[in-house]
Structure 1
Amino acid sequence: MLRRRIRNWLIYLIRPIWYLFWNSFPEGAAKDLVRDLWIKFANSAPNEVVIRRGDTVILVGAPSGGEYLRMAKLVGEDGHVIVIEPEKRNIEELNREIDEKSLRNKVTVVPKGAYSERGKQILKVSPHPEDHKIEIEGIEHDNDLRPENYQSIQEIYVDTLDNILRELGVDKVDFIKITVNGAEIEVLKGMGETLDRVSRLWIKGHAKLRGQPINRIIVSMLRDKGFNAKIIGEGDAPISKDFVRTGDVYAYKKPFSYRWRRGACKK
């Protein structure tokens, strides 16, 4: 416990300096090695570490502001961010921000949900833009503990990630981040082709399926697909006496530094 606290304090102190200077260093073997060491010893995988300049990034579930803007900055001029978001107000706000910041050439918004099949689903809408969710039998999420949540619903279009990327003509996928409040397993079921192409994934693992943390199910699914998958974060964190929030999942097919150890200069 003491070692974990010391490690966390060191990360807390180092992170601002890291982010300040990180983007000024060119991509290369040294930077990839540092990425691997950070993920291993810090037990975390922030966007600033796992996204490289020139990457194609897929963000599944994205309220406006914040994350997709940071991703757009991290991928640089040669990269691209695809945002998949079904909720009407979030879509409107995303499009407004993208136009204001002149990011149409770098960010694409797909106004539908990612799921295991094409069709329609009912989205339970929360006053908190990051808390909307599709109702799935057997799924419990800590957002359900907020008494003010889910006062209205929307009918949304959903499709598999495979179909969405095929229709966009996207062949290159480097990193996918999935935050869909309990529907993560359904999203994974609809991305069989995409899992063959993507090299890095970060998946929210806070929900439970019939009492079992979904992060353990996700780790098993990804390992069956040839990924190295691990649960990252602070470990189990109690939300209430009845619900414990568990860590998220980071998965990769090869360490960042693999391409350099093999003598290759590009992916």
Structure 2
Amino acid sequence: MPVWIRFSYKGLKFLVDSKVGDLYPFIDVFIRRFYDSVEIRSDSIIVDVGAHVGFFTVKAATKAKKGIVIAIEPHPENFRKLLINIKLNNLNNVIPLNLALWDRQGTLKLYNFNLSGIYSVVYPGRQFTLVKANTLDNVLKSLGIDQVDLVKIDVEGAELKVLKGATASLKRRIRSLILEAHSSYAVFSVAKLLKKYNFKVSTLLIPQYTFRRFVRGENLLALLKFEIIDHITRWVEKKTLLRDMTVFVKRTFLAEQQAENKRGEYCVMATKMGGE
């Protein structure tokens, strides 16, 4: 049975599953502040591609109270938690969509790497889930969205495919992007395509991290207010909670560090220049 963890951070509330790496994207968004370099106004229109369980979605939607956040997440279980976290934070400016973005419409195999932060349609694994796929151009057209202030992309190797399905939007709808890439070749390919559509591109190599460099499990727990809930919503004593969460956070970081050491990590930022 999964152990459900409910926690709050700076007034925001989240529910995650302790059996998977749900907390690592939290570290990216709130501790490492991977996306803080982009501007989010109160009326911004934002697309969160690879929304996971909603950490960036919730943070962005809280800032863009008069705007819209389109949260796109293909994995069914992550999407369920995304919906819960949207509801927990009383957000009515989020449009959640349960699908993958690709360069064409169809069905894809979403491979499972046993950590919910590492589901991929590019990197193969033993287990997979069939998911619906569409293009960003089709999604924005169907929603009647004519302008997007920011597109955030975290899709574990599928960045170029997502962008190839957004060529019409890159021409006239999208003002800026921020995305994660896992190799210098991926960065080169993404930058080449974006420059074709008159985007100014900058790249930041994120240093490979260690668990100790960013935050120890004990210190992370001190930042957050945790509650653990089992399948019958029975509360666990605080001492047991801290012990279990410390082990969970350490294991999550160890597994994620091993994955990142294989591929590297880059942040690509792009801003539309004048004209098309």
Q: TM-score, normalised to structure 2's length? A: 0.64
Conserved in 2, the CA contact under 8 Å of 1:237 and 1:246? no
CA shift for structure 1 position 253: 1.5
- Residue 173 of structure 1 corresponds to 148
**Maintained 8 Å contact 1:215/1:246:** no
Shift in Å, 1:233? 3.9
User: Which of 103, 110, 113 does residue 97 from structure 2 map onto?
Assistant: 110
Which 5+ residue runs of structure 2 have no aligned equivalent?
Answer: 1-9, 11-32, 211-256
Contact 1:64 1:93 in 2 (8 A): yes
Deviation readout 1:119-154 (Å, 9 max, x if unpaired): 00111023321110003xxxx6xxx8xxxxx45211
Residue number in structure 1 paired with 2:266: 247
Q: What letter is aligned with 2:45?
A: T
1:5 aligned residue: none
Q: What is residue 176 of structure 2 aligned with on the other side?
A: 200
Contact 1:215–1:247 (Cα < 8 Å) also in 2: yes
Decide which moves more: 197-206 or 212-221.
212-221
Alpha-carbon distance change, 230 to 168 in structure 1, aligned in 2, over 3 angstroms: same
Give the Cα separation in 2 of the matches to 1:99 and 1:246.
32
Matched residues in 2 for 1:86 and 1:159: separation?
Answer: 11
One-letter amino acid of the structure 2 residue matched with residue 227 of structure 1: F
Aligned to 1:263: none
Decide whether the 8 Å contact of 2:35 with 2:178 is kept in 1. no
Deviations 1:183-215 (A, max 9, x none): 000001000111122111011111x4xxx6201
Q: 1:65 to 1:244 in 2, by over 3 A?
A: closer
Contact 1:79/1:106 (8 A) holds in 2: yes
Rounded Cα–Cα distance in structure 2 between residues aligned with 1:250 and 1:129: 25
Q: Distance in 1 between matches of 2:38 and 2:265?
A: 22
Deviating more after overlay: 154-163 vs 124-133: 124-133
Greater RCO, 1 or 2 (C-alpha within 8 Å, sep 6+): 2
Provide structure 1 residue ranges, at least 5 long, that are not aligned to the other structure. 1-19, 21-43, 145-149, 259-267
* CA–CA separation in structure 2 for the residues paired with 1:201 and 1:158: 21
Secondary structure of 1:213 counterpart: helix
Match of 1:252, SS state, is strand
Match of 2:71 in 1: 83
Counterparts in 2 of 1:242 and 1:169: CA distance versus 1, 3 Å: closer
Match of 2:44 in 1: 55
* Aligned-partner Cα distance in 1 for 2:76–2:263: 31
Pair 1:66–1:246, CA change in 2 (3 A): closer
Moved more, 92-101 or 45-54: 45-54
Tell me, yes or no, if the aligned pair for 1:47 and 1:71 is still in contact at 8 Å.
Answer: no
2:116 corresponds, among 95, 120, 129, to: 129
Secondary structure in 1 aligned to 2:78?
helix
1:226 match? 198
Letter in structure 2 aligned against 1:252: T
Equivalent pairs, count:
195
The equivalent of 2:4 in structure 1 is: none
Aligned to 2:87, what secondary structure does the other structure show?
Answer: helix
Percent of residue pairs identical: 26
Distance verdict in 2 for CA 1:236–1:226, change over 3 Å: farther
In structure 2, the residue corresponding to 1:204 is in which secondary structure? strand
Q: Hey, what's the Cα distance between the residues in 2 that align with 1:121 and 1:252?
A: 30
Which AA in structure 2 matches 1:118?
Q
- Report the residue type matching 2:103 in the other structure: S
Q: CA RMSD in A?
A: 2.7
Structure 1 residue 58: Cα displacement: 0.2
Amino acid in structure 2 at the alignment position of 1:108: I
Kindly indicate whether residue 35 of structure 2 is the aligned counterpart of residue 46 of structure 1.
yes
Q: Distance in 1 between matches of 2:143 and 2:185?
A: 33
Deviations 1:5-35 (A, max 9, x none): xxxxxxxxxxxxxxx9xxxxxxxxxxxxxxx
1:98-120 Cα shifts (integer Å, max 9, x gaps): 223221x2111111000000000
CA change 1:195–1:236 in 2 (3 A) is farther
